[in-house]
């Protein structure tokens, strides 16, 4: 494969795995028919549609299409109590489906509906299609169960996942869906478009410049629809009535429950203290909610978080039914049906039990007797009533103690983030609207900038290297992208824009080969690197991976000799403060040191090109300019005295959508390498020039420089930094 073909192959495309739809059975609206037609053609996809847009009728029609096309069976998995609701709606739509408790109930081709809890009672391989109703429940399962679900249906030809808008900033939910649907492994998704948030260890955020490309990709396998108008259809019937969201604050004594030595109980809440604090306010919160409910003759949904809250609510609301996790399934269904048909006026439950899939538009009054920090629990519970099909204003009351305002503030901030995510998700509907897919960004132009003793090319490093003459470089020093750890641009040629280490090294080897060609025989190349971190939620297990060793193996595979190596000491305290790495925390050492690790050093790996005429133009040093004491210090395999802050100031080169800080190689390392392994006037090369650190060091030490930089703004600042050397006093 040549370089151009390889670069094009980096663009991830989700191919259709479906078929042309048969005539529809269900009475779909025009926009629903649009989505189902697309979903049938896709074969494996997700419907991320807002609550009340009719995902049930769409998934039933999709399942009917698969059954009629293949002559096989489709299994629809739902939360508890949603299965009977699905069967009932199917009858009204003219689509026959039946409840199945286990594999023995599957009698020939058809649509079968069961609960997630019964998954292990079925042979997944006997179904040609599967539907996950309220598929966001995936992330609420234990990892073992979620993996089992993905594994069970890994060979199923047709898959559909249906849920409302994923929780704000919880991009792991997209990863779980895309992996289940065979669109991409979740860890690859994280590598391509996300970056580890070093200020919040173990979490990920979307790269600034990758946002548009990410949502374009999501649109190739998911229908993201908040309103039919997102697809160009009339959405006036899908405007929700007003939501009256009110906070009811109850007064709780600050003295009772104070810790020893404290006059008042501390109002600060965290994951450890929240339940203790909410126990103190439980009785007051339950009474405030009961006063509202008992004074009304309308239907009410009362949400709680704990059994002790439920006990108190049940005591104060004698006409309410409570659905508890320990109830038998039949008892749960009976109580849910009683509330649905109006026999029971009030229902008490937890969002984790009844917060998914149920349609309770007949009720417009909701009381949250306290909140957890989970926005999704709040959102899903609210949307049981506040959803399309609701014709009246909805009154939602959040009852909290005065010391619990921090939770309310957190949820409100997440509501704002959720609205922003919905706006971004509209980008993902472009493919669904049959809009033209944007062209792959790949700038193949090369522009040269020259100055006194240097040339900087703005262009892809491999394309630039191909233009350089054979055996023309005396020494090279640079820091390559650390696989996908540092990403600077949205150009697909950027080596930081790779899904994993394997893809990175496929591209990097094109450069290593060109570097070998242009380096003079006997001359050296110094590569700065570090080992990389694996994270449990992205890679399956936490630990380190041998990126340094992979660089060595890639070079030796292409003819370079592994010549030498220097370890650059890094302060573990600074690393801990920057990354919040669990393994570096002192409290982790005391709690369970099996998770404890050492700080991570950096490395300068030296490679040599062997060949004829290797001893021409040797690099020599005199006692005056290179003392024995200096040599004994630099000959150490560990450089302990590198000034980590001695770098070119790159803040001025940063653009709005740049990701990570610009991290140039320390000038101390560059200057030592150039001094050790090159002569005055030699040509020093860096394929990743960035803002010009290597060029700056080379010119300062009386060498010449040539380099390449893909990002135009960085190339401009590299030129400016190198020109600044002319105004400085010369060392030679």
Q: For strands 110-115 and 222-225, give the pairing.
A: unpaired
Q: Going by C-beta distance under 8 Å and a sequence separation of 6 or more, which residues neighbour residue 2?
A: none
**Average pLDDT for residues 494-515, to the nearest whole number?**
90
Which of 339, 282, 340, 271 lies closest to 313 in space, CA to CA? 282
- pLDDT of 401 > 50? The answer is yes
Mean pLDDT of 552-569: 97
* DSSP secondary structure code for residue 711 in this structure: S
Answer yes or no: is pLDDT of 415 > 70. yes
Q: Read off the tokens for 446.
A: 């090369």
DSSP class per residue in 455-498: EEEES-HHHHHHHSPTT-EEEEEE----TTSS---S-TT-TTS-
Percent residues over pLDDT 70 in the chain: 86
Tokens standing for residue 342: 């109006």
Distant-in-sequence, close-in-space partners of 368: CB < 8 Å, separation ≥ 6: 303, 378, 381, 396, 397, 398, 399
- Full-model pTM: 0.65
Confidence of residue 537 (pLDDT cuts 50, 70, 90): low
The closest alpha carbon to 472, from 685, 639, 319, 668, belongs to 685
Highest mean pLDDT among 146-150, 459-463, 502-506: 459-463
Max avg pLDDT among 228-237, 276-285, 713-722: 713-722
Percent of the chain whose predicted confidence (pLDDT) is above 90: 52
The strand pair at 346-349 and 320-322 is best described as parallel
- Three-state DSSP class for 357? coil
Burial 308-328 (b: 16+ CB within 10 A, else e): ebbbbbbebbeebbbbbeebe
pLDDT above 90 for 517 = yes
> Rounded mean pLDDT of 379-395?
89
Residue 261, pLDDT > 50, answer: no
Structure confidence at residue 434 (pLDDT): 63
Mean pLDDT of 577-603: 89
CA atoms within a 13 Å half-sphere pointing along the CA-CB vector of 201: 16
Window from 268-272, 429-433, 442-446, 711-715 with minimum mean pLDDT: 268-272
User: What pLDDT, on a 0 to 100 scale, did the predictor assign at position 438?
Assistant: 43
For the record, the structure tokens of 84 come out as 């009977």
Residue labelled with tokens 């309220």: 134
16-35 per-position pLDDT tens digit: 899 999 999 999 999 999 99
Strand, helix or coil at 405?
helix
More confident residue, 137 or 118: 118
pLDDT > 60? residue 691: yes
List the structure tokens of 281: 């306010």
CB 130 within 8 A of CB 124: yes
Q: Is the model's pLDDT at 166 over the cut of 60?
A: no
Domains of the chain, with CATH numbers? 3-183+220-237 (3.40.50.10810), 241-421 (3.40.50.300), 447-727 (3.40.50.150)
Q: What is the pLDDT of residue 651?
A: 46
Strand order across the 346-349 sheet: 243-250, 394-401, 365-369, 300-303, 346-349, 320-322
Tell me, what's the pLDDT at 316?
96
The tens digit of pLDDT for each residue in 311-321 reads 999 999 999 99
pLDDT reported for residue 143: 63
């Amino acid at each position: 494969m040549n370089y151009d073909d390889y670069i094009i192959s980096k663009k991830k495309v989700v191919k259709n795995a479906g078929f042309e739809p048969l005539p529809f059975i269900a009475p779909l609206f025009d926009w629903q028919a649009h989505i189902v037609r697309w979903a049938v053609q896709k074969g494996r996809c997700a419907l991320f549609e807002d609550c009340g847009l009719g995902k049930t009728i769409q998934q039933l029609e999709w399942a009917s299409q698969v059954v009629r096309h293949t002559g096989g069976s489709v299994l629809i998995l739902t939360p508890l109590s949603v299965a009977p609701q699905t069967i009932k709606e199917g009858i009204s739509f003219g689509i026959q489906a039946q409840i199945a408790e286990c594999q023995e109930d599957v009698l020939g081709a058809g649509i079968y509906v069961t609960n997630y809890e019964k998954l292990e009672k079925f042979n997944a391989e006997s179904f040609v299609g599967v539907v996950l109703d309220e598929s966001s429940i995936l992330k609420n399962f234990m990892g073992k169960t979620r993996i089992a679900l993905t594994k069970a249906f890994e060979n199923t030809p047709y898959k559909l996942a249906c849920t409302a808008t994923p929780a704000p900033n919880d991009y792991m939910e997209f990863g779980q869906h895309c992996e289940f649907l065979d669109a991409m492994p979740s860890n690859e998704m994280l590598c391509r478009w996300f970056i580890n948030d070093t200020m919040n260890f173990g979490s990920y955020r979307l790269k600034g410049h990758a946002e548009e490309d990410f949502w374009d990709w999501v649109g190739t396998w998911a229908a993201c629809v908040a309103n039919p108008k997102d697809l160009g259809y009339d959405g006036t019937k899908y405007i929700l009535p007003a939501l009256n969201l009110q906070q009811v604050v109850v007064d709780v004594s600050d003295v009772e429950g104070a810790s020893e030595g404290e006059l008042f109980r501390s109002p600060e809440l965290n994951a450890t203290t929240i339940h203790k604090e909410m126990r103190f306010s439980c009785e007051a919160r339950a009474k405030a909610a009961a006063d509202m409910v008992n004074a009304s003759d309308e239907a009410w949904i009362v949400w709680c978080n704990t059994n002790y809250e439920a006990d108190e609510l049940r005591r104060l609301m004698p006409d309410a039914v409570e659905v508890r996790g320990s109830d038998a399934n039949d008892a749960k269904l009976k109580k849910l049906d009683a509330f649905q048909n109006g026999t029971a006026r009030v229902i008490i439950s937890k969002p984790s039990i009844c917060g998914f899939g149920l349609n309770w538009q007949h009720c417009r009054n909701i009381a949250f007797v306290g909140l957890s920090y989970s926005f999704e629990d709040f959102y899903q519970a609210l949307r049981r009533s506040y959803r399309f099909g609701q014709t009246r204003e909805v009154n939602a009351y959040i009852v909290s103690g005065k010391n619990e305002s921090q939770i309310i503030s957190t949820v409100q901030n997440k509501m704002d983030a959720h609205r922003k995510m919905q706006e971004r998700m509209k980008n993902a509907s472009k493919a669904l609207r049959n809009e033209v897919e944007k062209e792959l960004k790949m700038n193949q132009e090369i522009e040269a900038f020259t100055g006194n003793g240097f040339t900087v090319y703005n262009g892809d490093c491999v394309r630039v290297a191909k233009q350089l003459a054979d055996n023309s470089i005396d020494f090279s020093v640079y820091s390559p992208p650390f696989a996908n750890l540092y990403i600077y641009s949205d150009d697909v040629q950027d080596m930081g824009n790779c899904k994993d280490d394997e893809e990175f090294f496929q591209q990097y080897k094109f450069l290593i080969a060109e570097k070998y060609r242009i380096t003079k025989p006997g001359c050296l190349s110094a590569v700065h690197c570090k080992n990389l971190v694996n994270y449990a939620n992205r890679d399956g297990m936490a630990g380190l991976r041998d990126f340094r060793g992979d660089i060595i193996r890639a070079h030796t595979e292409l003819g370079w000799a592994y010549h030498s190596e220097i370890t650059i000491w890094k302060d573990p305290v600074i690393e801990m403060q920057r990354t919040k790495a669990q393994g570096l925390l002192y409290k982790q050492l005391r709690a369970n040191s099996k998770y404890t690790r050492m700080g991570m050093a950096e490395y300068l790996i030296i490679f040599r090109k062997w060949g004829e005429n290797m001893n021409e133009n040797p690099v020599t040093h005199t006692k005056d300019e290179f003392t024995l004491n200096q040599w004994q210090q630099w000959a150490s395999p560990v450089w302990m005295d590198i000034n980590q802050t001695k770098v070119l100031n790159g803040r001025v080169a940063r653009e709005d959508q740049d990701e990570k800080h610009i991290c140039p190689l320390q000038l101390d390392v560059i200057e030592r390498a150039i001094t050790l392994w090159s002569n005055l006037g030699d040509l020093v090369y860096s394929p990743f020039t960035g803002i010009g650190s290597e060029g700056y060091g080379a010119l300062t030490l009386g060498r010449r420089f040539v380099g390449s930089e893909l990002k135009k703004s960085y190339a401009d600042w590299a030129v400016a930094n190198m020109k600044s050397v002319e105004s400085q006093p010369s060392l030679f």
